[in-house]
Structure 1
Amino acid sequence: MKDKREPLKKPAHIAAVLRKAIAAYRDGGDGELVKVWELWEGAVGPAIAENTRAAAFRGNLLIVHVSSSTWIHHLHFLKPDLIATINRALGKPLVKEIKFKVGPL
């Protein structure tokens, strides 16, 4: 008979689970990028955060889901400032490029 799994002591926050999962499957620098999800609203502000979501990473590329093509157009003008703000919040220049695409928030 299989041994029963020990019950969890307390619920785990999803950010902690994702950080462990990414660290297990990606190199060290990518693990730090997970912090973007935690600091997204504070870094980009409430209006942008309401219409966007950091969705994925590919190396130094941050893929951001956006609510509409109008927002994509607007964010293209803000891209250099967003990259600088996100990197400042991360404490390191981990994001070199952002790609915006209409997707689920």
Structure 2
Amino acid sequence: MSVKEFTHIGQVLPGAMKKYRRESDGELVRIWALWDQAVGPAVAENARPAAFRGDLLIVHVTSSPWVQQLRFLKHEIRSKVNSALGGEMVRDIRFRVGAL
């Protein structure tokens, strides 16, 4: 019996998302890859990008209080994500309670 090596989720996720999502969601894969670093550990633990439509980023959040908190930080998060993407791709962010 052979022992398989573990693969980091960051190496698996882009391929899985490409396989199960529309081609237009390729930008969401990019946002997923940079999300943790752009928003920091506390936000990343409680919020995850769920969809990217045009210039609107939809983010699922663990609870209503987190939705409220992130609304206050929306412009800062948008700026950090756009900076990491290298351009003004995200013009608006909507936060919703949902599964991470």
TM range (shorter): 0.7 to 0.9
Aligned to 1:39: 34
Higher alpha-carbon deviation: 32-41 or 58-67: 32-41
Cα distance 1:90–1:51, how it changes in 2: closer, same or farther (>3 A)? same
Equivalent-residue separation in structure 2 for 1:96 and 1:85 (angstroms): 12
Q: Match for 2:53: what amino acid?
A: R
**TM-score between the two structures when normalised by the length of structure 1:** 0.76
Equivalent-residue separation in structure 2 for 1:18 and 1:68 (angstroms): 25
Q: Which runs of 5+ in 1 are unaligned?
A: 1-10
Equivalent-residue separation in structure 1 for 2:45 and 2:17 (angstroms): 22
Q: Does 1:73 align with 2:72?
A: no
Q: What do the CA deviations read for 1:15-65 (whole angstroms, capped 9, x no partner)?
A: 13434776x733xxx533421101111000000000011111111100000
Q: What is the CA-CA distance between 1:13 and the residue it aligns to? A: 2.1
Find the residue that maps to 1:72 and give its secondary structure.
Answer: helix
Aligned to 2:44: 49
**TM-score between the two structures when normalised by the length of structure 2:** 0.79
Q: What is the CA-CA distance between 1:92 and the residue it aligns to? A: 1.2
Find the residue that maps to 2:49 and give its secondary structure.
Answer: strand
Aligned to 1:25: 23
State the identity %.
51
Q: Answer yes or no: is the 8 Å Cα contact 2:28–2:49 preserved in 1.
A: no
Q: Which has the higher Rg, Structure 1 or Structure 2?
A: 1
